[in-house]
Amino acid sequence: MVYHREFIYFEHIMMWCLLGLSLLICHVVYAADIDYLRSTITKHFSENRHHVNNNTNKMASKEFIYNEFKRFGLQTFYHNFNNTGISTVPFANVVGILKGTNFGKVNDKIIGLGAHYNTVQHTKGVDDNGAGVAAMLEVAKQLTGQNKQGVTRKNTIIFVSFDLEEERYIGSEVFIQNWLNPWLDKNYGNAARSLQPHGIIILDTVMEYNTSSNSQKLPNGAAYFFPKSYESIESDNFQGDFLAMIYRKTVDGSLATSMTMSWSSEKRPQFEIESFPLPFTNISSLNQTVKDSFENFFRSDHTNFWLDNIPAIFLTDSGNFRGDMVKCYHHPCDDLATMLTDDNINFLGKTSDAIARSINELSEPTKPDTSGCIRVSVSHVISALMVLAFFIL
């Protein structure tokens, strides 16, 4: 009887130890480097980055992005282009590629992440869009870090930072026409036009977090077109405590679903997400009245991807519809003193983690474990538990 009780006790020890060890081994944690986000914004994206007002700093920011892509191990390119209608200075998008094992094949479901780095003339652009670039770099750092630990991916990931977003989104337009499509033709050949990419996530103005009542404004018609989100925001007394996700319901829905699930997995419930699914597919066929009604949902680089029939979702804090950005959007007070608060940087941290989780899963990672778990052999686990049980009993 004594031995029987000891055996039962031992079984219970084994069960709880296995459960605890499995949680320790296999729980995936996405933990944004808050210090990296803060220092990136402070050192590299806290001053004006306009081709007339401060082209020297703009070029330094571009080079920092390029060097970070290289440091992370991405295949890195400058996409240089000119637009003499705007300025005689050269412009450049910055591109980083993390190739999957399906690279060059028709079944490569490419996933992208983009954020513009330039500003308008009279702002330091901390939120618009230093925050977006910092989050993009943090995601690249997390995913390439996994690769350096032995993870491989089936699907290719493209990171891109756009120039001239503030000039009618010219940077992303020429990127698609003069870099992306030729690059696809070169690397995928006849399969290029048959690719079915997951699409691209665009980050623009993503750091303003405000829990004050009535700090969140909404465009006209929001209650009619997005009743679920409107009711949710209204129930929170119109707090600006969420990330807004804008997408076309039918075309971009799977990408939006992945982002929503990843956001939920990241916990930290004080930071919410609200969806704004647009009720159309082909925006080039919209009449001017409809375009005018939804103009606030077209205000970034995602629009050019929609025009080229590439799935895209737009993530934003809603810009001049929220809190401090009502007065600071495209104005001098979009600066460190106003924007770099603890709440804002932690909000940006969750955004980075949710995107990293979503892109990781969409890239279909394989080995050492698709979940990113630590690999421990069964014999090692059993041996460790036997030793533990010996000392307990």
The b/e string for 257-268 (b: 16+ C-beta within 10 A; e otherwise) is: ebbbebbeebee
- Residues 383 and 347 placed together within one structural domain of the fold: no
The model's pTM is 0.88
Domain that holds residue 15: 2-26+374-392
| CATH number of the domain encompassing residue 230 | 3.40.630.10
Mean pLDDT of 102-116: 98
- Residues 66 and 107 placed together within one structural domain of the fold: yes
HSE toward the beta carbon, residue 391, CA cutoff 13 A? 5
Per-residue pLDDT, 253:
96
- Residues 53 and 160 placed together within one structural domain of the fold: yes
Residue from 225, 213, 334 nearest 274 by CA: 225
Structural domain total, the chain: 2
Whether pLDDT at 88 is above 60: yes
- pLDDT level of residue 146 (50, 70, 90 thresholds): very high
The total of other beta-carbon atoms located within 10 Å of residue 213's CB is: 11
Q: Is 38 exposed, middle or buried (0-12, 13-18, 19+ CB in 10 A)?
A: middle
- Residues 63 and 196 placed together within one structural domain of the fold: yes
Whether pLDDT at 9 is above 50: no
- Residues 6 and 46 placed together within one structural domain of the fold: no
- Residues 326 and 382 placed together within one structural domain of the fold: no
Whether pLDDT at 17 is above 80: no
Residue from 316, 328, 358, 276 nearest 126 by CA: 328
